[in-house]
């Protein structure tokens, strides 16, 4: 496993080793001991799996308020996404900044989004599946978000506002400047 910092160093890009042979391939996507050796000690408690039928599906930007804040480990098992993490840690030097990466099923990359970040993605291909591990259980009453295309955050999404497919809930998320329950 190789761990690379992104433009926001607390957000990590993780590349796992892939062992290929004539039958196909094998990859160990998570190993608690290997992660600890790399300095990442997290206890994942839940796995989530999303499927998006269309290209241009936007999910996010989501996070959970404390005490149910989550670290997330994201990987794509079919298709591809433009994946984004926005720093919501009020005392962070990168507060309000974001990092984006392309994750796809062809590469062995995962994105580690730490507690204190909003997370979202846009599908780049139809029939995209994303699996992610989290360090805290889902709590509906602690669910929060930031509007995906808020100009105050400045994300250059690979889809237009009219072309994006969003849930009604995500269309009504507050702007960053109006955010409450950010991480102090």
Known catalytic residues are 62, 132
Neighbouring C-beta atoms of residue 36, cutoff 10 Å: 11
14 CB-side CA count, 13 A: 24
Phi, psi of 36, rounded to the nearest 5 degrees: -60, -40
Contact between 71 and 42 (Cβ < 8 Å): yes
């Amino acid at each position: 496993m190789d761990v690379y910092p992104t433009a926001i160093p607390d957000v990590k890009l993780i590349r796992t080793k892939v062992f290929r042979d004539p039958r196909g391939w094998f990859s160990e996507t998570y190993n608690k001991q290997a992660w600890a050796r790399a300095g990442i000690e997290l206890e994942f408690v839940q796995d989530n799996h999303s499927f998006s039928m269309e290209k241009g599906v936007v999910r996010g930007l989501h996070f959970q308020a404390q005490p149910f804040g989550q670290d997330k480990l994201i990987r794509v098992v079919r298709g591809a996404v433009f994946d984004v993490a926005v720093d919501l840690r009020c005392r962070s030097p990168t507060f309000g900044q974001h990092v984006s990466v392309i994750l796809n099923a062809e590469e062995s990359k995962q994105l580690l989004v730490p507690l204190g970040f909003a997370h979202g993605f846009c599908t780049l291909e139809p029939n995209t599946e994303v699996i992610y591990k989290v360090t805290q259980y889902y709590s509906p009453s602690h669910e929060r978000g930031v509007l995906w295309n808020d100009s105050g955050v400045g994300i250059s999404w690979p889809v237009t506002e009219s072309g994006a497919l969003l849930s009604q809930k995500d269309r009504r998320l507050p702007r960053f400047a109006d955010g409450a329950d950010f991480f102090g």
